[in-house]
Amino acid sequence: MMTTFQDEALIKKYNVKGPRYTSYPTALLLRSGFDPAKALQALNDSGPALSLYLHVPFCRELCYYCGCNKVISRDQTKADRYLDALAREMALYQPACIQKQVHQLHFGGGTPTYLDATQLRRLMLMLRQHFDFLPNAELSIEIDPRSCDVEKLALLRELGFSRVSFGVQDFDAQVQQTINRVQPYAMVETLVNAARALQFSSINLDLVYGLPHQAAESFAQTLAQVVRLDPDRISLFSYAHLPERFAAQRKIPDDALPSPTEKLELLALAMDRLQQAGFIAIGMDHFAKAADPLTQAQQAHQLTRNFQGYSVDACDTLLGLGVSAISQVGNLIWQQQKDLKHYYQALERDQILAIDKGLCLTRDDQIRADLIARLMCNFVLDTRALADKWQLDFAQYFASSLAQLVPCFEDDLVRWHADVLQVTARGRPWVRIIAAAFDAYLLNQQHSYSKVI
């Protein structure tokens, strides 16, 4: 039987551009002119639980595939000025968070481990001075193996970090050279073994499929090496080739990229090998062991999704700190200035929050956000429960969306029976397409997103 990964007709039909839905509405819909006072008021009005995301934009080298907000520099002192700005920003947010406790903290980037030992100690001291952390708060950090060693890992553990995520992408030498990210297997192995010896509670490895020169044989070798490292979680992301938006991607030859069919074969290979090794598929791009909290949350239909991806944290107050960071508090989403110069100007000259854009979700936005999150997290939607929660007639309210889904129903990507909308195994690689049918904004924004595959 032909699988969804081999069906050229499905690929031609559904491999269109669409959001990843780490939020709804997506960050591209945020608008300028957002009043910072609304952000502070939303924080004041929100519950006692707080999640923090902190963005460190600096990297020492440019990875050609990367679409993150980053600043390439080998001048370590630039990070000191950034920490000065962060201290001012934290002080501005502190009064609105005085009654809250931090449940989770995540460092992303850029390269958070760009910071040296003194800077990491200073940053954590600043955070604990401005925010009240639960004693068992979960602290996680993204690590570029080239910017970390065993000594820095030990420092992170001392500072309270319990979860680490190593950016592997691919172990193949040709792939690494082409994307300008050379990090041998032995380097990652040393760090993973050290993290385990230091008793980090969770070790994640990031992989990317669809990179230049990736092929089934070499990617199978990478997967075997990843399995040998025995991480707790694996993130498997689709490379989004958008050279019109990210100049560095223009250094990647188009003819070196796998075709959509080849890319789906890489995804199928990864899913097969990882599940054979005992990992369970979580959402659309994560894998975890059976005992992992992510797996347990998905099985209980309690998995959540935010700007950092899949999570077990049900906290609805996510505060982003640093340049380009995104916050979501109640029915508000806002984003910091994306340009470092403008971020500094707002905090140093005007002494106001460095917010660039924002959005207040309408009731319709909130309903659709709830629906899309359930589909993306659990691949199943209890339409009766959603209708009862929001006091609406599901079939009537989403009539146009269900009409758009007719081709997906016909291709057995999704089924609707007895108040259950179920994404089939065949439809899982296309869950973004299914979710997009419920996106009220997509028609005018579709050109801005990456291909689904």
Give ∠ CA 353-341-67 in degrees, rounded to 5: 95
Q: Which residue positions in the chain have pLDDT lower than 70?
A: 1-8, 11, 14-18, 443-453
Question: What is the secondary structure of 167-214 as a DSSP string?
Answer: EEE---HHHHHHTT----HHHHHHHHHHHHHTT-SEEEEEEEES-TT-
Give ∠ CA 261-276-415 in degrees, rounded to 5: 60
Query: Measured between alpha carbons, how far is residue 201 from residues 82, 139, 162, 339 in Å?
Result: 30, 10, 5, 35
Q: Hey, which residues does 202 pair with through a beta bridge?
A: 163
**Could you give the 3-state DSSP secondary structure of residue 66?**
coil
pLDDT at 1: 31
What confidence tens digit (pLDDT) does each residue in 400-436 have? Answer: 999 999 999 999 999 999 899 999 988 888 888 899 9
CATH of domain 1-16+362-440: 1.10.10.920
Could you please state the CATH topology (level 3) that the domain comprising 26-318 is classified under: pyruvate-formate lyase- activating enzyme (3.80.30)
In the chain, domain spans: 1-16+362-440, 26-318
Question: What is the secondary structure of 110-161 as a DSSP string?
Answer: S-GGGS-HHHHHHHHHHHHHHSEEEEEEEEEEEE-GGG--HHHHHHHHHTT-
**Could you give the 3-state DSSP secondary structure of residue 303?**
coil
**Closest of 340, 326, 293, 333 to residue 312, by C-alpha:** 293
pLDDT at 7: 64
